């Protein structure tokens, strides 16, 4: 399937969308009552609906339409949060876009020069080198951070939190404390891993244990020992 080119009036369409959001804030009592805090529920819900749409497959025309709708719902959340800050006199969605554009250029030096122009070389960098450059750019942006685990949202689902933590540790060259081996089983695919995890959660539930809480506690012990606390 050929790539669809972006329309020439993309900027006008985006501007129209922001105008619609502004009109809703001014004229719709429900939308006007929204706050950053009250929006969080919808942000989480819409994000999970997007995840579900992706996991359901995106190749079929009907599934692609569903994905398009879910992306729009997530975009709405971004625009509403930005609108609230615009009304507070802090920043606008244009500042969000500019900041993101600058970050993507800054963190991908294998594609862009510092001025934002594309590099002429067509040689592809290895994934490890790209990740290293990304991490170095993040360190330069946040020099006060001393731990590779800073910035990982504590509210992530436990499995995602654990995976993110271990990934950060590996990329930072920190092995951390040794963890007990739960099993000697080798997984050949994600189906086998999923069945094993589900079985472990079921066993925990049968014993009155909360797998989510237990895994979060294990991640905290891991990161606390790395930090020397």
Q: What is the pLDDT of residue 158?
A: 78
pLDDT (tens digit per residue) in 8-33: 999 999 999 999 999 999 999 999 99
Position 122 scores a pLDDT of: 56
Q: Is 112 helix (H, G, I), strand (E, B) or coil?
A: strand
Residue 177 has pLDDT above 70, yes or no: no
Write down the pLDDT at residue 219.
87
Distance CA 44, CA 74 (A): 9
> Which of residues 87 and 163 earns the better pLDDT score?
87
Cβ burial of 37 (10 Å; 0-12, 13-18, 19+) is exposed
Query: Can you spell out the DSSP letters for 50-106?
Result: HHHHHHT-SSSHHHHHHHHHHHHHHHHHHHHHHHHHHHTTS--HHHHHHHHHHHHHH
pLDDT score of 76: 98
pLDDT band at 87 (very low <50, low <70, confident <90, very high): very high
Q: What does the mean pLDDT of the chain come to?
A: 87
- Model pTM greater than 0.85? no
Q: Show contacts of 31-34: CB within 8 Å, 24+ apart.
A: 31/80, 34/80, 34/84
Give the model's pLDDT for residue 183: 66
């Amino acid at each position: 399937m050929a790539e669809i080119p972006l329309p020439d009036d993309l900027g006008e369409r985006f501007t129209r969308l922001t105008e619609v959001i502004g009109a809703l804030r001014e004229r719709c009592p429900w939308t006007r009552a929204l706050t950053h805090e009250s929006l969080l529920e919808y942000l989480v819900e819409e994000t999970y609906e997007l995840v579900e749409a992706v996991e359901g497959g995106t190749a079929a025309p009907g599934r692609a339409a569903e994905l398009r709708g879910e992306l729009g719902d997530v975009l709405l959340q971004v625009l509403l949060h930005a609108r609230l800050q615009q009304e507070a006199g802090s920043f606008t969605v244009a500042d969000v876009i500019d900041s993101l554009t600058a970050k993507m250029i800054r963190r991908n030096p294998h594609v862009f020069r510092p001025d934002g122009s594309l590099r002429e070389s067509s040689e592809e960098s290895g994934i490890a080198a790209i990740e290293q450059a990304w991490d170095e750019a993040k360190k330069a942006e946040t020099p006060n951070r001393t731990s590779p685990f800073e910035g990982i949202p504590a509210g992530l689902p436990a499995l995602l939190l654990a995976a993110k933590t271990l990934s950060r540790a590996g990329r930072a060259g920190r092995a951390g404390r040794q963890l007990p081996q739960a099993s000697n089983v080798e997984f050949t695919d994600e189906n086998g891993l999923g069945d094993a995890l589900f079985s472990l959660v079921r066993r925990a539930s049968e014993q009155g244990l909360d797998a989510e809480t237990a895994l979060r506690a294990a991640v905290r012990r891991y990161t606390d020992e790395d930090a020397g606390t």
